Structure 1
Amino acid sequence: MRFLLAFNGTRGDVQPAVVVGSELQRRGHDVLVGAPPNLCEFVASAGLATAPFGYDTHAHMNSEVVRTKLRTGGPRQRWQAFTEVRDLGWSQAVADMAELHTGAQAIVTGFVTEQIAAPFAEATGAACISLHHAPIRPNGSVSPVPAALSGLPPVANRASWWLTESAMWLLTKDRQNALRRELGVAGTVPRAPTDRLEIQAYDPRLCPELVDEWSDLRPFVGFLGLAAEQRARIGADTGDTDLLEWIAAGTPPVYFGFGSMPVPDPAAVVDAMVRACARLGVRALISNGWAGLEVTERADVRVVGALDHERILPLCRAAVHHGGAGTTAAVLRAGIPSLVCWVGSDQPYWGAQCARHGIGSATRLKGLTADTLVTEMTAVLTPERARTARELAAELITPEQAVRHCADLIEEHAEEGGPARRGDR
């Protein structure tokens, strides 16, 4: 079978496509991965065919609309920024999808690009399959509002989700319906999908109540992580000998890394991290990521670029990170506590889950100070948190099990086809 895996976003959005695509290719399928232009080289390094899909996300994450208007503007400016982000790259992604989807029996995509993938799949009778990295459908357990992730009654959570879905549908239905007409797809876009396989690519151990609530169309497979062979192909398993020697020469450091997230005031954040570690008497291992953090190294502070999470994190005492699903999964598997300094999207949810399960804490990245870090890190750096983190790590679905289950589901659903093909039987 031919599979198109079409994802746009940061590396955390695209890496699961590499994991799943590699497994499907290993099984003998024809796989093409559509990815942001800035991440096509990363996909190709894993041995997968790739083509540009959508806009350059690195440039976008560091643009004025994201770094300034969306994060720090007033209500009116934020609304204008939201609509700009909503519309950014739509035409480009539609044009790219028109080229990429030909002959695919299934289109596997993410939440960001479902609105584009679904009508193309429906037009050809292909299956449309989504990978979700956090709860983004109505449920009674989790609120879509970051400030109210827990504590609300189920009826209030479901009402919040209904309002959120309705608002998004009203904002995007016109362009979705225009695309459907252009592709010759009958009917209008529903407020919410009802017959699409939506694979939950995170661990059910962290949210058993969702497993009980959701139907078989939202199966949980576990976190999708790179296998050793994949890490070797993309060069992610190369150990920095000097770094390993630095780690071994002292007490386990605290890891700091914010992945692809733009840091609003990098100098202030770096100052807060260094001063907090000095006050707590711990060493700091700081990863630059896309944030471009400028740090002066000293004996107790080490600065690195990209590093091998699977190899380095287990050597650390704790991790301070943005709470993206991929980084959260790597920290969970390493069996160390987390302090999630979230920006937005699904990050508040993962911060709340770390706190709920006794393996961490959470706070906003915006306005982060040394005092805040000292308070939160003091709560995280305890023997009890460390023990709980190790115990939970042993209970997680392994990456190998997760990708096998995910690929099985994709194959099965692709053979059934989309609504159009199923309706012909």
Structure 2
Amino acid sequence: MRFVLVFNGTRGDIQPAVVLGTELLRRGHDVVFGAPPNLVGFAAGAGLDARPFGYDTRAHINSDVIRHGVRTGGPITRVRALAEIRDHGWNQMVDEMFELVEDADAIVTGFTTAQIAFAFAERGDVPFFVLHHAPVTENPYFSPFPGAPLTLPARVNAVSWTAVTAAFWMLTRGRENRLRQRLGLGTVKQALPARMQRYGAIELQLYDPVFCPDLARVWGERRPLVGFIDLPQGLRRRIGSDALDADTDLWIDSGDPPIYFGFGSMPVPDAHSLLTAIEEACRKLGQRALVCAGWSDFEEISTDRIRVVATVDHDQVFARCRAVVHHGGAGTTSAAVRAGKPALVCWLGSDQPFWGLQLERLGVGVSTPLTMVDVEVLEENLEVILRAKYTERAAEVASRLRSAEEATADAVDLIENSARQGRTMRLSA
């Protein structure tokens, strides 16, 4: 079978799909992988037929419209920035989809590209799958608003989801119906989630049931919680992009286990000030800091107290650290929890505050907005997560997670079997 996987976003968005794509390839299927130009090499390094899809996401994340447009100026300036972000790359991705989906037997995509990919799935009458890294679909337990309390009444959450879904549909229905007209499809008047459900789409939840035990009961087999998908060691070695250099390996072993600091693909507003705060807070607490620059502009430093590196393999490094300070992406969250390490989430937006609150709920971490972080905030929160009870609780939660191998196998089984059933599977929805 020919599976077409198309994704936009950061490495955290792409990596789980790469794992699933390589497993489909190993099982003998034809796999085409569409990825942002800056991540095509990453997907190709895994052995996939990787092709450019959309815009350079690293450049976009570091653009003025992302860094400043939605955070500064008056309401009109911010609305214009949000509109620009909403439509950025849409036409390019639509044009590139025509070649990518040729002869597809099934289409797999992510949350941000579902509106485009679903229209092509309908045109081809092929099974459709969406990968989610957090609960981003209507449910009674979690609000659609980042940072909202986990204890809101079900009715409040329901009203919030209805409002958000309606607002997004109002903002995007024009562009979707223009795409549908181009594809020879009829005009639609209903928001995407309901249409996907009616079509028989499967929305795989790539996070562990430990975090959201009630969702499995509410959502059922159409939105299964399969667990966190991680890069297996063999695939990590093949890609090789995060291999730990010898000097960093020696630095980690040269003293007490360090605290890891890394913010992934998120643009840190003032990298110099944050690095200064990290160094000072660790000095006060008598800790060492291993800082991963990721997509931020941290200056290179290597002293007995602090070391800055470009990238690291979380699987190799986290087990050798005391605690993990990160942005709250689903991938980094899962890696820290799997390693049995308490975490401080310094979030910027999207699903990151949700994961920070979940770590707090489970007693394995604390969270705060990255914009609030200074020496005092770091020192106070690090003192909390370095307590023995947090480390003990983190180890206990780690033991309850589904293994990455089990999650990957279940996800690919579901995609493979459902795709084989094709139209019959969807009509039974």
Pairing of 1:85-164 with structure 2 (within 5 A): 85-164=85-164
**Paired residue for 1:329, among 334, 351, 374?**
334
For residue 5 of structure 1, what is the aligned residue in structure 2? 5
Contact 1:121 1:418 in 2 (8 A): no
Match of 2:171 in 1: 171
1:306 corresponds to 2:311: yes
1:254 to 2:259 alignment: yes
1:280 corresponds in structure 2 to 285
1:389 and 2:388 correspond: no
Letter in 2 for 1:306: T
User: What is the match of residue 266 of structure 1?
Assistant: 271
The one-letter code of the counterpart of 1:146 is P
Identity of aligned residues (%): 49
Return the letter of the residue paired with 1:159.
V
Amino acid at match of 2:94: V
Q: What is the rounded CA distance, in whole Å, between the counterparts of 1:234 and 1:74 in structure 2?
A: 44
Whether the 8 Å CA contact 2:35–2:54 is kept in 1: the answer is yes
Mapped to 2, the partners of 1:304 and 1:413 lie a distance apart of 42
Unaligned regions of 5+ residues in structure 1, if any?
none
Measured in 2, the distance between the counterparts of 1:376 and 1:178 equals 49
2:364 is aligned to 359
Structure 2: distance between partners of 1:291 and 1:423 = 47
Asked if structure 1 preserves the Cα contact closer than 8 Å seen for 2:298 and 2:308, the reply is: no
1:197, 1:218 within 8 Å by CA — same for their partners in 2?
A: yes
- Give the conservation status (yes or no) of the 8 Å contact 2:208–2:227: yes
Per-residue deviation, 1:295: 4.7
Counterpart check, 1:64 vs 2:64:
yes
Is 1:380 aligned to residue 385 of structure 2? yes
Task: Confirm or deny: 8 A CA contact 2:260 2:289 kept in the other structure.
Answer: yes
DSSP-derived class of the 2:372 partner: coil
Equivalent-residue separation in structure 2 for 1:397 and 1:6 (angstroms): 26
CA distance 1:241–1:140, shift in 2 (3 Å)? same
Letter in 1 for 2:217: D
Matched residues, number: 423
What whole-Å deviation, never above 9, does each CA across 1:144-194 have from its counterpart, x for those lacking one?
122423221111011111111111111101111111111112341521232
Question: What is the CA deviation profile of residues 92-116 of structure 1, one whole-angstrom value per residue up to 9, with x for unaligned ones?
Answer: 0000111100111111000000000
Contact in 1 for aligned 2:260/2:323 (Cα 8 Å):
yes
* Contact persistence 2:274–2:374 (CA under 8 A): yes
Change (3 A) 1:331 1:86: same
The answer to whether the Cα contact below 8 Å between 1:288 and 1:304 also exists between their aligned partners in 2 is yes
Instruction: Go from structure 1 to structure 2 and tell me whether the alpha carbon gap of 1:337 and 1:124 turns closer, same or farther (over 3 Å shift).
Output: same
How far 1:236 sits from its partner (Å)? Answer: 4.6
Q: Which amino acid aligns with 2:88?
A: L
SS at the partner of 2:4?
strand
Pair 1:339 & 2:344 matched? yes
Partner SS state of residue 405, structure 1: helix
CA-based RMSD? 1.5
Q: CA contact under 8 A between 2:341 and 2:391: conserved in structure 1?
A: yes
SS at match of 1:205: coil
Q: What residue is the counterpart of 1:316 in the other structure?
A: 321
Residue identity matched to 1:165: T
TM-score scaled by length of structure 2: 0.96
In structure 2, do the counterparts of structure 1 residues 30 and 363 end up closer, same or farther at CA, with 3 Å as the change threshold?
A: same
The corresponding residue for 2:411 is 406
Query: What is the SS of the residue equivalent to 1:9?
Result: coil
**Aligned counterparts of 1:351 and 1:74: Cα–Cα separation in 2:** 29
Q: Distance in 2 between matches of 1:154 and 1:236?
A: 43
Where does 1:12-51 land on structure 2 (aligned, <5 Å)? 12-51=12-51
Alpha-carbon separation, structure 2, partners of 1:418 and 1:85: 35
**Is the alpha carbon distance of 1:313 and 1:238 closer, same or farther for their aligned partners in structure 2, counting shifts above 3 Å?**
same
The 1:366–1:173 alpha-carbon spacing in structure 2 relative to 1, beyond 3 Å, is: same
- Could you list the per-position Cα deviations for residues 15-49 of structure 1 after superposition, in whole angstroms to 9, with x for gaps in the alignment? 11110000000000000100001110111111110
Q: Give the alignment of 1:174-323 within 5 angstroms.
A: 174-188=174-188, 190-191=190-191, 192=193, 193-194=196-197, 195-236=200-241, 238-323=243-328
Q: Distance in 1 between matches of 2:36 and 2:189?
A: 26
> Secondary structure at the residue paired with 2:267?
coil
Structure 1 residues 320 and 74, CA gap change in structure 2 (3 angstroms): farther
Give the superposition deviation at 1:388: 0.6
Residue 215 of structure 1: how far off its partner (Å)? 2.5
SS at match of 2:335: helix
Structure 1, residues 194-220: CA drift from partner, whole Å, max 9, x if none?
A: 232000001011110111221321001
CA contact under 8 A between 1:288 and 1:303: conserved in structure 2? Answer: yes
* Distance (whole Å) between structure 1 residues aligned to residue 342 and residue 217 of structure 2: 27
Aligned letter for 1:125? D
Rounded Cα–Cα distance in structure 2 between residues aligned with 1:76 and 1:338: 37
- Tell me the amino acid that sits aligned with residue 271 of structure 2: P
Check 1:320–1:423 CA distance in 2 against 1; reply closer, same or farther (3 A cut). closer
Correspondence 1:416 to 2:416: no
| C-alpha distance in 1 between matches for 2:385 and 2:189 | 45
Deviations 1:314-367 (CA, angstroms, capped at 9, x unpaired): 000001100011111111111101100001111011001010000000000113
2:70 match: secondary structure = helix
For 1:362, the aligned partner's letter is S
Is the contact between residue 270 and residue 295 of structure 1 (CA under 8 Å) also seen in structure 2?
A: no
1:121 is paired with a residue whose SS is helix
Distance 2:314 2:250 in 1: 16
Instruction: Decide which moves more: 61-70 or 183-192.
Output: 183-192
Is the Cα–Cα contact under 8 Å of residues 277 and 283 in structure 1 kept in the other structure? yes
* Residues 44 and 50, structure 1, Cα contact 8 Å, conserved in 2: yes
**1:297: Cα distance to partner?**
2.6
Structure 2 distance, partners of 1:239, 1:165, is 43
